[in-house]
Amino acid sequence: MTTATTTGHEGGARKRWTARVLTLLPEAFPGLLGLSLAGRALRDGLWHLEAVDIRGFATDRHRTVDDTPFGGGPGMVLRPDIVAAAIDASLADATAAGENRRVIYLSPRGRVIDQKLVRELAAADGFILVCGRFEGVDQRVLDARAIEEVSLGDFVLSGGEPAAVALIDAIVRLLPGVMGDAASSEDESFEHGLLEYPHYTRPQTWEGRAVPDILLSGHHADIRRWRREQAETITQQRRPDLWSRYAPNHTKRG
């Protein structure tokens, strides 16, 4: 039994990138993903979203999905049998659709999401995302289904849904046809191992602050060089971890 909210249209020749999100809050989707760039792409059939209600796989009349932790301690744990049933139904749907069967559990213990992972996930044809709640998911279902854990960062959310929205948003904007200007992702933070250079727009002077002269010069090669230098300086100052990976291969400053 799958209780899914399906959003998006049937697409063209290329297999549509599909996110199947297992959650106790299916009404949270598409949420932000139904707006702006991602929402337009969803309505245009450039990607596809299924929010699957984990509670739909409960077997008792109270639709129970959690229980107290063995060994004691606070909070509740999502039961392995219920979560596994939800995952297996989505795996069967993904297999029937000829889609990628990668299953990811959003968890503060996981590999922290970066642009490299986002690109890798965008290059596949989709995934199954498990959103935890309460204290999380029984370890046995993670082991039994060889589930990868990925994290939004070193902090604790109350559920996996905000992380799912963030991850899907980052992926969808890289899908073919989603961003109007195909070049617009190429200069962005992390694409070349650097944070992005600063941006300026009108008015040319604001509160006594002028736009850097170089940007008004019309010399495109000089502007490119200035932006690269700005990106390097900002990365060196703010993210020594990124800089130490970038510098040895790109600069004499490293």
Q: Which residues make up the interface to ligand SAM (CB under 6 A)?
A: 106-109, 131-133, 135-136, 151-153, 155-160, 163
What's the min distance (Å) between Cβ of 57 and ligand SAM? 17
CA distance 104 to 48: 17
Q: Taken in order 107, 111, 113, 119, is the CA torsion positive or negative?
A: negative
Beta bridge partners of 48: 18
Nearer to ligand SAM, 153 or 254 (CB): 153
Three-class SS state of 63: coil
Which two structure tokens, joined as six digits, stand for 144? 């039994």
Burial of residue 192, with CB atoms counted within 10 A of its CB: 0-12 exposed, 13-18 middle, 19 or more buried: middle
Nearer to ligand SAM, 155 or 252 (CB): 155
What's the min distance (Å) between Cβ of 167 and ligand SAM? 9
CA distance 101 to 87: 10
Nearer to ligand SAM, 74 or 98 (CB): 74
Residue nearest to ligand SAM (CB): 132
Nearer to ligand SAM, 117 or 211 (CB): 117
Nearer to ligand SAM, 130 or 194 (CB): 130
What's the min distance (Å) between Cβ of 168 and ligand SAM? 13
Which two structure tokens, joined as six digits, stand for 111? 């590999």
What's the min distance (Å) between Cβ of 25 and ligand SAM? 11
Per-position b or e across 23-51, b if 16+ CB within 10 A of its CB: bbbbebbbeebeeeebbebbeeebbbbbb
Nearest Cα neighbor of 44 from 11, 13, 17 is 11
What's the min distance (Å) between Cβ of 208 and ligand SAM? 41
CA distance 52 to 23: 6
Three-class SS state of 81: helix
User: Do 132 and 157 form a contact (C-beta atoms < 8 A)?
Assistant: no
Nearer to ligand SAM, 11 or 159 (CB): 159
Nearer to ligand SAM, 21 or 49 (CB): 21
